[in-house]
């Protein structure tokens, strides 16, 4: 074997089924090795989108999604996708070609210190400087991506290392996972002492709590505890325990869940990363205790200093927590939770009555998308005003049903994620949502979708603007800048690739068009002129001085 053949066989042994990438001279040895592999190569139109697709694979499977790019600009184009994956806890292995070793320190064609470039956006960044080192670098990269707080890893592959002969067993278990146990018994005892004194406890479920592998343990603990809970945008939704759920929170501190959070005398965070919702926004003026349940200790933050941290395997720790006596939650707090949950449901229900000719009100869009969303449907959300409306009022029915970029708020993820989601959950419906601005960030991958036989429905909330920026600028400065966009014909764009296109002219068309689009054998794009007049309501009663 040469190095590239070893690499491909080791990925096979690790269970990798797809590699997303774009070829080039420095990595053509790996592309050639893939010809003889059962791993499916997904040839993309841009390396950033290859990283997005790998990220979706990682989020949905819990194992590395793999992307592959050549040296120089091929590698630099991966950066945004890897930063997104690392910030949001998704395991990705990026393999980047490099110039031959003899040219490593020369100012030559596509020379670049890729390892240094990738260090800030990955959990691990290293090059294999000879064939002997390749197995170790690969194994450490996989482990870094798949352990603890998950994220991206970068493996640099010089051209001559990919071609060099190697004597190593690719099935020896490179990157084998190591299981953790539950948190330390003394920490669990401390948590018990803290929790028994609380009358108004609230659970805050973060992105790691949405891992399908812990779903059963999470449901058991939450239901047995009887504690009301809220979730971040990436956290699990109402399916955990519908009667205890008060909604999502994030961005603006003005949701029903925020009001309950303010009233809580203690917060138990499970799988929560502060990047999801800055503690300086929701906890800076609080002296109540925080119990943090996670796979790694929290970064020190004056607004997030847990009284105790239960660090270990989340599933095992939740099983241990479920054995504790049921907490005594005050009746007043439970009644408050029900009132706020009803408020959330009442707002979402308003969507049914939002009719009339286009442009369409956001709540009507959320309502119609929710109607056609089954338990098997995967929702992939881009970033924009639509992402706020959808996250607040569209409910998830199972773990990782809704994919969203909450940490980096990366524009353009929805369509690449939809392509990857259809591969992971083959045969199940996929609906993706973007604004008209974010759509064109990655719309070239529609050709990839057609070539790969993907099926999904992509709904474009069209405002001819970067509207999420617009309404925040308007609120802060009283005027706007750099937000107006031109128009384009979504139907003709779809048809030019062989896909199906629709334009909505009246709110009542949404339901029938969505149902027809879901039956199509090709990707379908739905252009919906959207009325964002009420967006200013998204910022009502906002407490923080600035918005991210």
User: Which residues are within 8 A (CB) of 473 and not within 5 positions of it... i.e. 6 or more apart?
Assistant: 479, 480, 481, 483
The pLDDT value recorded for residue 546 is 47
- Cα Dmax for the chain: 72
- Angle 403-468-252 from CA coordinates, rounded to 5°: 75
d(CA 235, CA 242): 14
Q: Is 189 exposed, middle or buried (0-12, 13-18, 19+ CB in 10 A)?
A: exposed
In the block, residue with structure tokens 């937000």: 483
Domains, the chain? 3-163 (3.40.50.970), 185-342 (3.40.50.1220), 354-539 (3.40.50.970)
In the block, residue with structure tokens 């042994």: 13
According to DSSP, the residues that pair with 96 across neighbouring strands are: 69, 156
In the block, residue with structure tokens 């990269």: 141
User: What's CA 39's distance to the chain center, in Å?
Assistant: 24
Answer whether 504's CB lies under 8 Å from 440's CB: no
d(CA 280, CA 9): 47
Query: pTM of this prediction?
Result: 0.95
**Strand 124-127 versus strand 229-231 pairing type:** unpaired
Q: What is the pLDDT along the chain (548 residues), one digit of tens a residue?
A: 999 999 999 999 999 999 999 999 999 999 999 999 999 999 999 999 999 999 999 999 999 999 999 999 999 999 999 999 999 999 999 999 998 888 787 777 777 899 999 999 999 999 999 999 999 999 999 999 999 899 999 999 999 999 999 999 999 999 988 888 999 999 999 999 999 999 999 999 999 999 999 999 999 999 999 999 999 999 998 999 999 999 999 888 889 999 999 999 999 999 999 999 999 999 987 789 999 999 999 998 999 999 999 999 999 999 999 998 888 899 999 999 999 999 999 999 999 999 999 999 999 999 999 999 999 999 999 999 999 999 999 988 899 999 999 889 999 999 999 999 999 999 999 999 999 999 999 999 999 999 999 999 999 999 999 988 888 888 888 899 999 999 999 999 999 999 999 999 999 999 999 999 999 999 999 999 999 998 877 776 555 454 54
In the block, residue with structure tokens 């989020």: 59
d(CA 331, CA 289): 21
d(CA 460, CA 432): 9
The pLDDT value recorded for residue 542 is 55
Residue 530 — φ and ψ, nearest 5°? -115, 145
Tokens of 194: 């803290």
The closest of 222, 228, 239, 224 to 202, measured between CA atoms, is 228
Sign of CA dihedral 421, 229, 293, 323: negative
d(CA 140, CA 69): 20
The closest of 118, 122, 124, 84 to 98, measured between CA atoms, is 118
Tokens of 402: 């809704």
d(CA 382, CA 20): 20
According to DSSP, the residues that pair with 69 across neighbouring strands are: 96
What's the start-to-end Cα distance of the chain, in Å? 50
The H or E element that residue 36 is part of is: none
d(CA 151, CA 429): 27
Answer whether 251's CB lies under 8 Å from 276's CB: no
């Amino acid at each position: 074997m040469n190095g590239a053949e070893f690499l491909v066989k080791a990925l096979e042994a690790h269970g990798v089924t797809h590699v997303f990438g774009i070829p080039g001279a420095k990595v053509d040895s790996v592309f050639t090795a893939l010809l003889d592999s059962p791993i499916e190569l997904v040839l993309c139109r841009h390396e950033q989108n290859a990283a997005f697709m790998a990220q979706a694979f990682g989020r949905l499977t819990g194992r590395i999604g793999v992307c592959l790019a050549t040296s120089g600009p091929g590698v630099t184009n991966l950066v945004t996708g890897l930063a997104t994956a690392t910030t949001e806890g998704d395991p990705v292995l990026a393999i980047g070609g490099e110039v031959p070793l003899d040219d490593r320190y020369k100012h030559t064609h596509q020379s670049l210190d890729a390892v240094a470039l990738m260090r800030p956006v990955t959990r691990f960044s290293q090059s294999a400087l000879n064939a002997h080192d390749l197995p170790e670098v690969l194994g450490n990269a996989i482990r870094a991506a798949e352990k603890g707080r998950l994220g991206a890893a970068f493996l640099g592959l010089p051209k001559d290392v990919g071609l060099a002969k190697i004597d190593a067993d690719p099935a020896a278990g490179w990157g084998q996972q190591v299981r953790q146990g539950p948190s330390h018994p003394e920490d669990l005892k401390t948590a018990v002492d803290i929790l028994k004194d609380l009358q108004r406890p609230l659970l805050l479920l973060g992105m790691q709590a949405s891992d399908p592998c812990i779903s059963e343990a999470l449901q058991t603990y939450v239901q047995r505890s009887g504690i009301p809970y809220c979730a971040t945008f990436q956290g699990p939704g109402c399916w955990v325990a519908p009667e205890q759920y008060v909604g999502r929170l994030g961005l603006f501190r003005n949701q029903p869940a925020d009001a309950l959070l303010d009233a809580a005398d203690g917060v138990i965070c499970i799988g929560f990363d502060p990047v999801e919702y800055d503690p300086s926004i929701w906890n800076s003026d609080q002296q109540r205790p925080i119990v943090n349940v996670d796979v790694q200790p929290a970064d020190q933050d004056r607004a997030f200093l847990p009284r105790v941290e239960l660090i270990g395997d989340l599933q095992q720790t939740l099983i241990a927590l479920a054995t504790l006596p049921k907490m005594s939650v005050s009746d007043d707090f439970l009644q408050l939770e029900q009132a706020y949950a009803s408020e959330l449901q009442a707002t979402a229900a308003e969507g049914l009555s939002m009719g009339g000719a286009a442009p369409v009100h956001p709540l009507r869009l959320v309502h119609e998308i929710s109607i056609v969303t089954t338990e098997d449907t995967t929702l992939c959300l881009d970033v924009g005003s639509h992402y706020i409306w959808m996250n607040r009022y569209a409910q998830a029915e199972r773990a990782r049903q809704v994919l969203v970029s909450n940490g980096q708020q990366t524009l353009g993820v929805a369509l690449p994620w939809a392509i990857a989601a259809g591969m992971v959950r083959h045969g199940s419906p996929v609906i993706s949502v973007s604004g008209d601005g974010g759509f064109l960030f990655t719309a070239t991958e529609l050709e990839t979708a057609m070539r790969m036989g993907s099926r999904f429905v992509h709904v474009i909330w069209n405002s001819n603007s970067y509207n999420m920026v617009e309404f925040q600028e308007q609120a802060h400065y009283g005027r706007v800048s750099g937000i107006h966009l031109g128009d384009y014909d979504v139907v003709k764009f779809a048809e030019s690739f062989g896909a199906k296109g629709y334009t909505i002219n009246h709110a009542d068309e949404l339901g029938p068009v969505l149902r027809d689009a879901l039956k199509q054998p090709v990707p379908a794009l739905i252009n919906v002129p959207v009325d964002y007049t009420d967006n200013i309501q998204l910022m009502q009663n906002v407490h923080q001085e600035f918005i991210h």
